[in-house]
Amino acid sequence: NYWTLDRLGRLYKDWDPQVLTDLSAQVAKSKWRPGYHITTKTGLLNDPNGFSYFNGQWHLFNQAFPYGAVHGLKSWQHNVSDDLIHWRVVDKPMVPDIYSDRNGCYSGSAINVDDKLFIMYTGNTFEGSEFTRHPYQDGAWMDADNNIEKLAEPLIADSPSGVTGHFRDPQIIKHDDYYYAFIGAQTVDNTGEILTYRSRQVDSGWELYKKLDLGTDNLGYMAECPNVGFVDGKVVVIFCPQGADKAAFHYDNVHPNAYIIADELDFSAMKLVNPSPMQQLDEGFDYYATQLLNAPDGRLLSVGWIGLPDTEYLSDQDGWEGELSMVRELHISNGSLVQSPVNELETIIDDTPATANDLQRLITAAPLASQFSLYLDSTDSYLHLAYDESDRQWTLVRKNVGEEAVTRSFQGDPSSLSIYLDNSVFEIFINGGKVTMTGQFFHDGKSIQVSTTSMDIKQKKIQNM
Ligand code: FRU
């Protein structure tokens, strides 16, 4: 096996640069590269990190391992944008290079403080021959030239008592006189929870505050990537409850991304007021680790990883894996979350009809019928979406080249549909975004035939960027 512990954990400065050159050549031959979704040039992408608006630009980092399509030593790739659509990679990644992040710069968030951006992230370390996890919550300042300077000392040097080494993914927000960090945790009794810490200064003085009371304890054995956002007079909490009990919360993916809406967050009790039941954030095949940003322009924005932990993808054999979703704007309507692509996306939709292999948007041209289907077919692979009014069931079946077909379904109305296709990536927005289905479709790479029964669609081209 090529992926020995030595290679998985090797510091970036110790890799032979030729490895990246060779890998780039391999990636260039892949038939599945997206045109506008953020991905890594080579290797693996996972969680979005540090989503922020700073110094007149949008900043969006992501977990990356450039040396292969595996979960090796993680760094932060840095992407910037003027419009949330056209992203450019800044060639100053945050890589593991201090004691307290030596086995990975894991996920975290960023917040504007004066004229700098403050980053709080999990430094992953393994100790001893048993590779016991010892997480640190580390800090760093980024200046207007995108130079990142890590703090010499961790902000939080250990898991609190009663919590295992699974303690990570801080999201910082400011409320009244305090900065609060929401951190995913696993108790020694093997249950997931979200803990909060707080401090009056962002770069020191962090103390354990309270456990976040979500109104449910069905957080499985570990709650990853907690995020809190505020919109439409409500609060939404998004997190990944690994191993959540399926009897109480249905999901089909190996690990779910979930949300809870509440009337407010009572910071003094650290408790959600009138929380909704836990719901699935996305009904598709690959969506995880979603991060929120309450943007200075008032919008609540989200971005997720189009991929899942503990999963192999066909693109791995081409030397790369994973994308970030398009940035979405979130609202709350009748107690549910509504997700839609940000308006800025309209600037890259052409009026010209798309041809089969363009990046494209498929959108319903007329009200949906009580029964319909949409087929995207290539040789030995397909993506089929259908609705049947008899049981109000939406069904999405995906057959990747060389794999068995898999299905995701949910019950709902048929009111509208728009689909964004970016080569192997799809994001489906159903009923104005009340439901989304996101994932990857590994087709034969030649041509995809689009056909429908009982429905009219318009196919529009998305400018390739
Ligand atoms: C979620 C996650 C985080 C962790 C990061 C490591 O996908 O496992 O909990 O910080 O990925 O890459």
Q: Which tens digits make up the pLDDT trace of 49-95?
A: 999 999 999 999 999 999 999 999 999 999 999 999 999 999 999 99
Angle ∠(340,291,57) on CA atoms, nearest 5: 80
Domain count for the chain, please give it. 2
Task: Report, as an integer, the average pLDDT of 343-347.
Answer: 92
354 and 399, same structural domain?
A: yes
Would the CB of 122 count as within 6 Å of ligand 1? yes
Q: Final residue of a domain: which of 323, 341, 359?
A: 341
Q: Does residue 356 register a pLDDT over 80?
A: no
Interface predicted TM-score of the whole assembly (ipTM), two decimals: 0.99
Tell how far the Cα of 124 is from the centroid of ligand 1, in angstroms: 10
Tell how far the Cα of 66 is from the centroid of ligand 1, in angstroms: 16
Tell how far the Cα of 106 is from the centroid of ligand 1, in angstroms: 6
Structural domain that includes position 396: 345-462
Q: Final residue of a domain: which of 311, 341, 371?
A: 341
283 and 261, same structural domain?
A: yes
How many angstroms separate the CA atoms of 296 and 134, rounded?
35
Tens of pLDDT along 167-190?
999 999 999 999 999 999 999 999
Instruction: Give pLDDT, residue 119.
Output: 99
230 and 161, same structural domain?
A: yes
Would the CB of 197 count as within 6 Å of ligand 1? no
Q: Supply the residue whose CA is at minimum distance from atom 9 of ligand 1.
A: 224
Instruction: Give pLDDT, residue 360.
Output: 87
CATH code, domain with 458 = 2.60.120.560
Tens of pLDDT along 11-55?
999 999 999 999 999 999 999 999 989 999 999 999 999 999 999
Would the CB of 165 count as within 6 Å of ligand 1? no
Q: Final residue of a domain: which of 300, 319, 341?
A: 341
How many angstroms separate the CA atoms of 419 and 421, rounded?
6
310 and 403, same structural domain?
A: no
Tell how far the Cα of 338 is from the centroid of ligand 1, in angstroms: 25
Tell how far the Cα of 103 is from the centroid of ligand 1, in angstroms: 12
Is position 47 annotated as part of the catalytic site?
yes
Q: Name the pLDDT band for 350 (thresholds 50, 70, 90).
A: confident
285 and 377, same structural domain?
A: no
Query: 178 and 200 in contact (C-beta within 8 Å)?
Result: yes
3-class secondary structure per residue, the chain: CCCCHHHHHCCHHHCCCHHHHHHHHHHHCCCCCCCCCCCCCCEEEEEEEEEEEECCEEEEEEEEECCCCCCCCCEEEEEEECCCCCEEEEEEEECCCCHHHCCCEEEEEEEEECCEEEEEEEECCEECCCCEECCEEEEEEECCCCCEEECCCCCECCCCCCEEEEEEEEEEEEECCEEEEEEEEEECCCCEEEEEEEECECCECCEEEEECECCCCCCCCEEEEEEEEEECCEEEEEEEEECCCCCCCCCCCCCCCEEEEECEEECCCCEEECCCCCEECCCCCCCEEEEEEECCCCCEEEEEEECCCCCCCHHHHHCEECEECCCEEEEEECCEEEEEECHHHHHHEEEEECCCCCCEEEEECCCCCCEEEEEEEECCEEEEEEEECCCCEEEEEEECCCCCCEEEEEECCCCCEEEEEECCEEEEEEHHHCEEEEEECCCCCCCCEEEEECCCEEEEEECCC
125 and 18, same structural domain?
A: yes
Q: Which of 47, 282, 286, 318 is catalytic?
A: 47
Would the CB of 106 count as within 6 Å of ligand 1? yes
The minimum-distance atom of ligand 1 relative to the CA of 107 is: 10
The minimum-distance atom of ligand 1 relative to the CA of 122 is: 10
Q: Does residue 386 register a pLDDT over 80?
A: yes
- Weakest-pLDDT range from 23-27, 99-103, 359-363: 359-363
Tens of pLDDT along 229-256?
999 999 999 999 999 999 999 999 999 9
Task: Report, as an integer, the average pLDDT of 137-142.
Answer: 98
CATH code, domain with 179 = 2.115.10.20
Tell how far the Cα of 96 is from the centroid of ligand 1, in angstroms: 15
382 phi and psi angles, rounded to 5 deg: -160, 165
308 and 372, same structural domain?
A: no
Tell how far the Cα of 104 is from the centroid of ligand 1, in angstroms: 10
Instruction: Give pLDDT, residue 38.
Output: 97
Would the CB of 289 count as within 6 Å of ligand 1? yes
* Pocket probe mutation, ligand 1, options 63, 194, 254, max atoms within 8 Å of Cβ: 63
Would the CB of 47 count as within 6 Å of ligand 1? yes
The minimum-distance atom of ligand 1 relative to the CA of 63 is: 12
Tell how far the Cα of 381 is from the centroid of ligand 1, in angstroms: 30
Q: Supply the residue whose CA is at minimum distance from atom 6 of ligand 1.
A: 106
Would the CB of 225 count as within 6 Å of ligand 1? yes
347 phi and psi angles, rounded to 5 deg: -70, -15
101 and 238, same structural domain?
A: yes
Arithmetic mean of pLDDT over the chain: 96
The minimum-distance atom of ligand 1 relative to the CA of 169 is: 10
Instruction: Report the first-to-last Cα separation within the chain, whole angstroms.
Output: 37
Tens of pLDDT along 412-427?
999 999 999 999 999 9
Q: Supply the residue whose CA is at minimum distance from atom 12 of ligand 1.
A: 106
The minimum-distance atom of ligand 1 relative to the CA of 225 is: 9
379 and 333, same structural domain?
A: no
| Residue type for position 86 | H
Tell how far the Cα of 280 is from the centroid of ligand 1, in angstroms: 19
Would the CB of 46 count as within 6 Å of ligand 1? yes
Task: Report, as an integer, the average pLDDT of 294-309.
Answer: 98
Q: Give residues with Cβ within 8 angstroms of 56, minimum separation 6.
A: none
The minimum-distance atom of ligand 1 relative to the CA of 224 is: 9
Would the CB of 65 count as within 6 Å of ligand 1? no
How many angstroms separate the CA atoms of 438 and 420, rounded?
10
Which of 154, 8, 125 shows the shortest CA–CA distance to 69?
8
The minimum-distance atom of ligand 1 relative to the CA of 184 is: 9
* Pocket probe mutation, ligand 1, options 71, 133, 169, 183, max atoms within 8 Å of Cβ: 169
Q: Name the pLDDT band for 295 (thresholds 50, 70, 90).
A: very high
Instruction: Give pLDDT, residue 364.
Output: 84
Instruction: Give pLDDT, residue 465.
Output: 65
400 and 277, same structural domain?
A: no
197 and 209, same structural domain?
A: yes
Task: Report, as an integer, the average pLDDT of 284-293.
Answer: 98
Q: Does residue 304 register a pLDDT over 80?
A: yes
440 and 375, same structural domain?
A: yes
Task: Report, as an integer, the average pLDDT of 197-212.
Answer: 98
How many angstroms separate the CA atoms of 327 and 87, rounded?
11
Task: Report, as an integer, the average pLDDT of 113-124.
Answer: 98
Q: Does residue 358 register a pLDDT over 80?
A: no
